[in-house]
Amino acid sequence: MHNTDFDAVVVGSGPNGLAAAITLQQAGLSVLVLEGKPEIGGGLRSAELTLPGFMHDTCSAIHPLAVNSPFFRTLPLDTFGLEYIEPPIAAAHPFDDGTAAILTRSMDETARSLGPDEKTYRNLFKPLIDQWPRIDFDVLGPLTFPKHPLDFAQFGLKALPPVTWLAKLFETPQAKGLLAGMAAHSIQPLSNFTTSAIAIVLMTAAHVRGWPLPKGGSQQISRSLAAYFTSLGGKIETNFYVSSLAQLPSSKAVLFDITPKQLLQIAGHRFSPLYRWQLNRYRYGMGVFKVDWALDGPIPFTAESCQQAGTVHLGNTLEEIADSELRASKGQHPEKPYVLLAQQSLFDVTRAPAGKQTAWAYCHIPNGSTVDMTNAIENQIERFAPGFRDRILARHTMNPAQMEAHNPNYIGGDINGGIIDIGQLFTRPALRWSPYRTSEKGLYICSSSTPPGGGVHGMCGHHAALRALKDVFTR
């Protein structure tokens, strides 16, 4: 199989697997990455899903956490073909009255757009923007004693409450709705503790470095990471699906960019009864139903600002979004689901033929559901963009089961690698001194099922690799 022994093997080539591999290779080790699919990337892949010439992102699309990642920022990815495009408006949130709240790179512009809530917005986000460079590594990592405890504590006080509480600071439906749309990225009921965290992290990230999209598709991020890794001497093998430890070449450490369910299947017999018990109790969250469209022109949003936004959150008011997310978490399929929509081709001409456009959207539904939500999603778009359906040339859909088939880490369509509620925020995937260690020496987990969780930032892999460097290689 492999004639060469390696210092470390990384199973899985998503952003966390590649980040782990790069961190280890940078330390002078010999590293092999094994990927079960024909292409690397995990959620960072793109394909012509609808018609020839229309390039769609198969999972992640807009990347505020990638450009704000303390690890990715240290890498010369631009020299390996990665180019980001930043839309004029990071995110827009339309309402039934034809208005829309906006999130832009400028904190001042965003605050002014919220009218009576301008001062409240400034008071909330100005300190966070100032503190972010001092706390980003700790926020995007395991629970440890922070380098700047006062700044981190101030962040924690804002991040810990449910977003339904945080929203009470604001007066207008526009500000409340904008906040709710951001918090709903957490894929859990908005009344849960820590739902404020994802909202303030995403909004702060927009003001610090924007919400860009990669030119040519999200696959360009994984390709640039892989190119940098191999330039350091690392090795990648695709079409190698790991189902047992016996398949792996000899190494001192193995890092798994997979979820607890798969880890148990591969290495469960080597784990202690307590660790096995903890992994078996690990909880997965809601699934997603995703649609990609090839369009004959731009989406005709009523609110003009939506036509300048890379991301559009469709859910109307905080109350409506909260109801949609609560219903989905209880096993129901909302008639008016909260929809996350991206329109990359408006800003990246490589995504569609001249004069045509692409669109990408998903909603949250019960884990493992096979219910077709196409009509419900398109109704929500049509609600805020009358005439949208007339522009559809072709569509491609993926339900939660198909999402898992595309990427085995998406258990039941859960794109976050497990629910990130208060019960699993600091204990992903088990309660241990280091969340990246398993109970078996030399075996580590480095996926989004570890802190800080989902998103394209590579920090789960980076932190896991740092742990392995200390434990196994004394570096």
pLDDT digits (tens, 9 = 90+) for 86-137: 999 999 999 999 999 999 999 999 999 999 999 999 999 999 999 999 999 9
CATH topology for 8-36+240-282+416-471 is: FAD/NAD(P)-binding domain (3.50.50)
Does the fold of domain 84-212+286-406 match that of domain 8-36+240-282+416-471?
Answer: no
pLDDT digits (tens, 9 = 90+) for 269-326: 999 999 999 999 999 999 999 999 999 999 999 999 999 999 999 999 999 999 999 9
Strands of the sheet containing 89-94, edge to edge, are 100-103, 89-94, 309-314, 339-342, 357-365, 287-295, 392-398
Separation CA 212–CA 230 (nearest Å)? 25
Separation CA 74–CA 93 (nearest Å)? 33
Separation CA 357–CA 313 (nearest Å)? 18
Residue 244: DSSP 8-state: S
Contacts of 360 (CB under 8 A, 6+ apart): 56, 57, 61, 290, 291, 292, 293, 341, 342, 343, 344
pLDDT of residue 4: 74
Mean of the per-residue pLDDT values of the chain: 97
Mean pLDDT of 18-40: 98
Contact 184, 321 (CB under 8 A): yes
The dihedrals phi and psi of 55, each to the nearest 5 degrees, come to: -95, 120
pLDDT of residue 455: 96
pLDDT digits (tens, 9 = 90+) for 34-93: 999 999 999 999 999 999 999 999 999 999 999 999 999 999 999 999 999 999 999 999
Separation CA 452–CA 461 (nearest Å)? 10
pLDDT digits (tens, 9 = 90+) for 145-204: 999 999 999 999 999 999 999 999 999 999 999 999 999 999 999 999 999 999 999 999
Residue 287 CA, chain-centre distance (Å), reads 13
pLDDT of residue 3: 57
**Number of Cβ within a 10 Å radius of residue 96:** 12
pLDDT tier at 426, thresholds 50, 70, 90:
confident
Separation CA 172–CA 174 (nearest Å)? 5
Pick the CATH number of 84-212+286-406 from 3.90.660, 1.10.287, 2.60.40, 3.30.1760: 3.90.660
Residue 1: pLDDT over 70: no
Domain boundaries, the chain: 8-36+240-282+416-471, 84-212+286-406
The dihedrals phi and psi of 418, each to the nearest 5 degrees, come to: 125, 145
Phi-psi region of 128 (alpha: psi -120 to 50; beta: other; left: phi over 0): alpha
pLDDT tier at 2, thresholds 50, 70, 90:
low
Contact 369, 234 (CB under 8 A): no
Mean pLDDT of 214-234: 98
Mean pLDDT of 21-28: 98
pLDDT digits (tens, 9 = 90+) for 365-412: 999 999 999 999 999 999 999 999 999 999 999 999 999 999 999 999
